[in-house]
Amino acid sequence: MGIEFIAGHNLYWIISLLLLVGLYGMLAKRNLVKKLIGMNIFQTAIILFYIAGASKWNATVPVIDPALGSVDPADYINPLPHTLMLTAIVVSVATTGVGFALLISIYRRYRTLDEDTLLKRMR
């Protein structure tokens, strides 16, 4: 665990940090909207993780260019994680939408979005 280990993986450190920030927001924040924001940060971190896994040094966009004369896969970055993450982004948007719809419904019934007040009014 030298300095190279930390410096060589700085992208993964940032992703881990984002994951933790997201989890903290979802589980520890008392405001329901902040929980949803935490969820979005969490999902973004996962998306970044996949994208990070796809990248390569000295590689270009995955469109085969005849002018380049190369069909070696090592010259192109892996396109699959990007397409997977397009799906994951759609899922994340849908989940956020359902979450906001539920928040509107909660606010109409209880007139609050704070978890402690909500628990008091639910009794």
Stretch in the footprint of another protein (CB under 8 A) among 2-10, 55-63, 64-72, 79-87: 79-87
* SS3 of residue 65 by DSSP: coil
Stretch in the footprint of another protein (CB under 8 A) among 1-9, 18-26, 58-66, 67-75: 18-26
Query: Does position 118 bind another protein by CB under 8 A?
Result: yes
**To the nearest whole angstrom, how small is the minimum distance from the Cβ of residue 105 to another protein?**
4
Instruction: Give Dmax over CA atoms of the chain in angstroms.
Output: 71
**To the nearest whole angstrom, how small is the minimum distance from the Cβ of residue 67 to another protein?**
26
**To the nearest whole angstrom, how small is the minimum distance from the Cβ of residue 104 to another protein?**
9
- Binds another protein by CB under 8 A, chosen from 21, 23, 59, 77: 23
DSSP codes of every residue in 4-21: HHHHHTHHHHHHHHHHHH
Residue 51, both tokens:
């994208």
Name residues whose C-beta falls within 8 Å of residue 53's C-beta, 6 or more positions apart in sequence: 78, 81
